[in-house]
Structure formats: C-alpha cells, structure tokens
Amino acid sequence: MSIAINVICQDRPGMLRDIAGTVAKWGGNIVYTQQFVLERGLNQGKAAVYMEIDCPNGDVPEMVEELEALPAITDVSIHETFGKIYGARVIIIGGGAQVAQVAVGAVSEADRHNLRGERISVDTIPLVGEEAIADAVSAVARLPRASILVLAGALMGGRITREVKKLQEEGIPVIALKMAGSLPAQADMVVTDPIQAGTFAVMHIAGTAVFDIGRVRGREF
C-alpha cells in the first residue's frame, strides 16, 4: 500500500535521518519527500516533512506510533498521496496572454475528465526572456508528476530549444504554439489555437481519452 505522511518536528540537524530511519525499520520505501520550515500558524518555526511511502508490510500504525514517540516530533498525520489528489500535471510556460488562453483549454478539458474520476492538474507560469524560460523548461523534469509541457509565446529558440530536446529525452512530450524561432521544429506538436493546445495536452495524458501525441508527432494543427 502507498500512503503519505506529514510530520511536524523540530527544525534541527538529523531530523530527516531519524524519520527516514524509522520508516526503513518498518520496511517502508520513501518514493517522494519534501521538507520546509513553517512560517505561520501554531507551528511557526517548526519543520514539516512530507513523505510518500510504499509500505509492502502494511505496518503503518506501528510505524506512525514509533514516529510519534520520537521526542522531537510533535505531530504525524496520514494522507492520500499527491498523485491521488492532484494527479498528472500539465505545465504551461510562456507569455502571459498566451499562457492564460492555453490554461482555459486545459482546465476545461481537465474538468471533463476529472468528473469521470481522473485527477489532472494544470500549472502555469508567465515568463519573459530566453534564459528565464529555458531555466523553467529545464526544471520541468524535476517536478513530480509533470506529464506534458506546453510552451506558449511568439518567439522561442536557442537555449529553450536545447532544453526542450533534453526534456523530450526524459520522456516528457512538448506542445508548442505556432511561433517564430527554432522551437516549433523541435516540439512534438505545433498548435495554432492556444485553447486547442491546452485541450490536446490534457487529452494526451488523460486515461479516459484516446488521443496520443505520438501518432501525430511533428505535425501542425
């Protein structure tokens, strides 16, 4: 079984080691983790450690009990994983107006599939400039559950195109709006209408859709 736990603890060296050691003791395999210091609320100044864990032995109550017994931990709560709550992610990067229109198509199409029980979320960031966009494209491969990227703008190329190629090698397809620059030739698919680009992106990752970008790779719509 897969679970997520959120641990509130003291912000001190060694906490991550102590938590991970306890999880390992009970046979848990940590598949995702993030940690940060809380900046507001009743636990301000304490650390939050979120982990998604595969627990093949099913010893979750015992593991949680031992975590709660650690003196530096104040709370342990169990949750559904981000995959079950937010699902696969569509990432949209580029100019503000174009990003907004792509998001309209993506959100509308995601709503249709999520009503059928899927989980698809849409993340956007409007950016200007080759370096800023290229850095964002490079970071997509490090985002958990990122499934497809849409690049929306009027001109993209250079380092952006090189980062797109690396991202595709990681198995993440890229849709580009029709634009100037070298990016469209590298993208898996080029779409003129930004709303339709968002729709295509969601259709590709939705389990309840039959669209596959691999079957139209290199084409322009």
Q: Which helix (H) or strand (E) holds 196?
A: helix 194-205
Q: 14 is written with which tokens?
A: 């060694």
Q: From CA 140, how far away is CA 4, in angstroms rounded?
A: 23
Report phi then psi at 120, rounded to 5.
-130, 130
pLDDT the model gives residue 110? 96
Contact status, residue 103 vs residue 94, Cβ threshold 8 Å: no
Mark out the alpha helices in 36-182 (DSSP H runs): 60-69, 82-85, 96-114, 130-140, 159-169
What angle (nearest 5°) sits at the alpha carbon of residue 109, between those of residues 103 and 111? 100
pLDDT at 208 (0 to 100): 83
Mean residue pLDDT of the chain comes to 94
Q: Give the pLDDT of residue 209.
A: 80
CA–CA gap between residue 200 and residue 195 (Å, rounded): 9
Q: Give the integer Cα–Cα distance in Å for 176 and 82.
A: 27
Q: For residue 57, what pLDDT is reported? A: 79
Q: Which residues does the chain have with pLDDT short of 70?
A: none
Q: Domains of the chain (ranges plus CATH)? A: 2-81 (3.30.70.260), 86-215 (3.40.50.10550)
d(CA 35, CA 161): 32
DSSP 31: E
